[in-house]
Structure 1
Amino acid sequence: MGPGGRLDAVLVCGGRWHDFDHARLRLLTELARHERVRTRVFEDYGFGGALNAPLDTADLLVTYTCDVRPAPGQQDALTEFVARGGRWLALHGTNAAIDAPPDGGPRIFRTPPAFGQVETVLGSRFLRHPKITPYRVEVTDPAHPLVAGIEPFDVRDELYVSRLHEPLRVLLHTTYEGPCPGFEEGHDGGDPLRPVLYLRRHGAGEVCYFTLGHCRGRFDVQDLGVDDTGRIDRGSWDVPQFQTVLARCVDWAAGG
């Protein structure tokens, strides 16, 4: 915490195949509700070559990424940030490393283990998701302040099937045990309960992971050969329950 009670936040928002402009604006709007928070914004864990290491003095970290892979030294910095007491609000594809299909090859995506020790700190690694269709989000721990008063709700979003690292305190979940066409990692045959929102302690700090929040604009998959998708997908961002829980998660990250 800085002079006068100022809180220093780091927002990492960038990667592939999502509308990061939309997510960045919405997340900065949420952070701006807290007058004590001052936010630095970056696209990856290299922090734009900043002369000072932003995480060394940060109080909170918010990430909305897809296929942003921390290098070994960056993995150390992320792990140490949480271990010393930092709060990390990780959203949507933060835990996803995705290799696109090679040109001319079958349209199969790979999700390699590219996060090292950070995978355990985050509590999960993305493996695959089924086709985007509506699904029901259930409340796992209704007594917890992040989800108190929230009733089950429906979203049209990416449903994440992930490798999990216990212990997790799951607050929201969905269920799924069907196929995920287009991903190399096959059906795992495990527990069909899929965490949507959970907390995980690490050292003196904690991670809050919220898998919802997919969004895509018309021009966000050009590297896959689609110049214009012809549609804008806002996923859960306009769902009232998502908005409420996201605001509470930002409050949590800011010390609430």
Structure 2
Amino acid sequence: MGAQPATRIDAHFIAAGKYHDIDYPRLEILKLLAEHPHIRTTVAADYSGLERLDQCRFLITYTCDLMPTEEQAAQVRAWVEGGGKWLALHGTNSILVFTEDGLVDAPDTRPDVMEMLGTQFKAHPPIGQFEVEVVNKEHELTRGIDDFEVVDELYLSKTTADIDTLMQTTFDGEATGFVDDKWDNETVPILYTRDLGKGRIVYNTLGHCRGHYDLPGMQDFYPHKEMCAWNYDVYYDMLRRSIGWAMRAETAGE
């Protein structure tokens, strides 16, 4: 038996939100964390209990339309600025409101959170195939990964602060059903980093997941499961690299 790591690493994982099969990514990410026996993870369904972060090296979030309170957002920001690492996945930057016309709006009601994250979700076209361009091929999260095509929910977002884009794509067309529906050959980040004080955020917009029973009150049985990037080895490679980055005791700029 090989030598075991000498030091425990604590992590906190928030997995919750609407319109997604949260159970699947919760399980898959926990399995990836379990590849490292010295990581001990607590799991939450909202942003309460953030005092837990004081013991943690990193935070992971897989959410949709779930915002921290202003006080909780300030707690997270102070923790990141103090050297914490935040791996934010898919819908972490989403606020969704249905208008009287039945459209989906992504209102700018939480600039504190969106500035911290560096982007805000605004819309997505129907799930389909698109190309992901690796724009920084020397970063540890991308080195050796070629441009690839993926079938996923393409997150169209606006940039709200300085970010370092590692992967991106472009979209020209219509995001049907959203208030911000017209997109004119715009470049949007897929994977990026954002430094805050001594800490860093890594955001990966891929990874939509919806099962048969994830639209309660809207559709009792959703006929076609959507696994998207979870069907691709490259996505798991990206997640494993991101966990490896998050585990290391270092700060932004090192």
1:192 is the counterpart of 2:186: yes
2:55 is aligned to: 57
> For residue 206 of structure 2, what is the aligned residue in structure 1?
212
Return the offset for 1:176.
0.7
Q: Residue 25 of structure 1: SS of its match in structure 2? A: helix
The equivalent residue for 1:70 is: 68
In structure 2, the partner of 1:174 is 169
**Structure 1 unaligned residues grouped into runs of 5+:** none
Measure, in 2, the Cα distance between the counterparts of 1:236 and 1:58.
Answer: 28
- The residue number in structure 2 matching 1:7 is 9
Q: Name the aligned partner's letter for residue 21 of structure 2.
A: D
- 1:52-88 deviation line (CA, Å, top 9, x unaligned): 7212222100000000011111111111111000000
Displaced runs of 4 or more, over 6 A: none
Q: Distance in 1 between matches of 2:135 and 2:44?
A: 33
SS in 1 for 2:188: strand
Q: Tell me the CA shift for residue 254 of structure 1.
A: 1.3
In the alignment, residue 187 of structure 1 is paired with which amino acid? Answer: K
Equivalent positions of 1:1-256 (< 5 A) are 5-47=7-49, 53-101=51-99, 105-187=100-182, 192-223=186-217, 225-255=218-248
User: TM-score, normalized by length of structure 2?
Assistant: 0.91
| Whole-angstrom CA distance in 1 between matches of 2:187 and 2:239 | 21
**Stretch deviating more after TM superposition (22-31 or 92-101):** 92-101
* Alignment RMSD: 1.6
Paired residue secondary structure (2:97): coil
Give a deviation string over 1:161-197, Cα, whole Å, max 9, x none: 11113421111111113221111124365x7111100
Count of residue pairs brought into register by the alignment? 244
Aligned equivalents of 2:88, 2:248: Cα separation in 1: 15
Q: Which has the higher strand share?
A: 2
Aligned-pair identity (%): 36
Q: Any conservation in 1 of the 2:96–2:105 contact (CA below 8 Å)?
A: yes
Q: Secondary structure at the match of 1:113?
A: coil
Shift of 1:95: 0.3
Three-state SS of the structure 1 residue aligned to 2:172 is coil
**Which runs of 5 or more structure 2 residues have no equivalent in the other structure?**
1-5, 250-254
Q: TM-score by structure 1 length? A: 0.90
Q: Is the 8 A contact 1:69 1:114 kept in 2?
A: no
